[in-house]
Amino acid sequence: MKKILIGVLALSFCSLTNAEIRSKGNFNYPVTKRMTNPLFVEFDSPMFESDSIGPLYTADASAHVWEDGRLYVYASHDMEPAQGCDRMDRYHVFSTDDMLNWTDHGEILNASQVEWGCPQGGFMWAPDCAYKNGKYYFYFPHPDDEAWWHTWQTGIAVSDYPDRDFKVIGFLEGAPREIDPCVFIDDDGQAYFYNGGGGRCFGGKLKENMIELDGEMVQMEGLEDFHEGTWIHKYNGKYYLSHADNHPGADGNRLSYAVSDSPLGPWKDMGVYVFPTGCGTDHGSIVEYKGQWYAFYHNCDYSGDWGLRSVCVDPLTIKEDGSIEVVKNWGDPYKKPFIVNNEEVIVEAENYNTGGNHRGFHKRGFDKIANKNYRKDNIGIRKDKKIGNYVESLSKGEWMRYSSEVKTPGKYRLAVRMKNGNPDSRFHVSINGIDQTGSMAPDANGEWTLVNVADIEFQPDSRYLDFRVENGEMDIDKFIISPIN
């Protein structure tokens, strides 16, 4: 009973009623389950300093295809309950041979195994892995001092296997004290190492032994709005550097990319390929598997909490000219997208996206698979004799999404018919994951009210609208979008 109580308190602390308490976990690795986005939450994980069990939350996916023909994902691990990024204490590795059935090979490394690491543990941030000369080299950022923010090293662990028996052998001497290591091996066998954060990206050569730099690293030139999360892949003789940008606002980073004729640049910015996912950060990898390119990244659609992220994967399309199409990860419209065409349009709140291979609606307490149609269970929808159906009791971290088709771009006025009895309630509205309204505080009168939210701008490529609750609780009836004459 004590163990279950601890878990309930933990969930209450971080407002995670959707993380179902499990009486016991399956930690007999490897364990395989069939799953879609978000990935890996069907696997079990211990909670932080607790014997209770919850979903396995992962981020910062590093995806590789090794010689055994399987695709492997090396990911960081958000511990529950969330506390920023300082409880990222261990790494898991996953693999698949069909992109549907995923195997969790278990934990391959944690902070306690790093003798030179910071005394408080944690801070096992985004890793990468490389294979050369019959060995697997695992690179991970970790501070070597309590003052973690400026004492990062790039640790190196080595194994004969891709999924187990990694041993820490030290760190990469001479590398910038930055985060997010990335290793790319070119067609000629030359290995390159990259890292960086806070707006700076560095690159350089590795020696044949994969554990020493071959010369000094240099700062990459030509990147625009670089934040962190370097990833390198090659396509048709061109080098692609993808990264998270510095996009401000409540919904977080986008993933952008640049191209070059050289693995060390200079680079030419090519724009965004993943819109903000609503969880503050993003970190991606791009890989080809069995003739299809894939984009890995993370969101917090399952938890509703920025500190409890989940790896996702979607097909990636590289066009004939080498440019990358924006990854479609916003789900499918319930019936059809709402049309923006210089006339008033009413979007009923209950007509949120079905999700497709993603989620189009998040309400804590309902752990449903991503491609389930929530309306079959009438979840979150209530009926009022006067106004008809509405979405009930959306609270902090919960959201709804609606696909759009823009025929007449421009500025439109957004109003929301809602009921709110909490004076602390706040929300914002985003288009393509970009905050359009700022944090809004609706009138707390407990009655149905038409709230004039803001003037928002629809672009030709505006694909979807999100309504996200930041605090409090509210009922939503409909959205009214009107042209500004």
Catalytic (active-site) positions: 60, 228
Provide the H-helix boundaries in 122-271. none
Q: Which of 247, 243, 264, 248 is nearest to 197 (CA)?
A: 243
Look at residue 79 and give its three-state secondary structure.
coil
One-letter amino acid identity for 250?
A: A
Q: Which of 218, 74, 227 is nearest to 137 (CA)?
A: 74
Q: For residue 200, with 0-12 CB atoms within 10 Å meaning exposed, 13-18 middle and 19 or more buried, which class applies?
A: middle
Distances (CA, A) of 252 to 246, 277, 464: 8, 7, 16
Please write down the HEC assignment for all residues of 322-389: CCECCCCCCCCCCCCCEEECCCCEEEECCCCCCCCCCCCEECCCCCCCCCCCHHHHCCCEEEECCCEE
Burial 264-297 (b: 16+ CB within 10 A, else e): bbebebbebbbbbbbbbbbbbbbbbbeeeebbbb
134: left (phi over 0), alpha (psi -120 to 50) or beta: left
- The rounded radius of gyration (Å) of the Cα atoms in the chain is 23
CA distance 284 to 329: 14
Burial 357-388 (b: 16+ CB within 10 A, else e): bbbbbbbbeeebebeeebbeeebbeeeeeeee
Residue whose entry in the numeric block shows the structure tokens 């709110």: 420
Please tell me whether the peptide bond between 38 and the residue prior to it is cis, using omega within 30 degrees of 0: yes
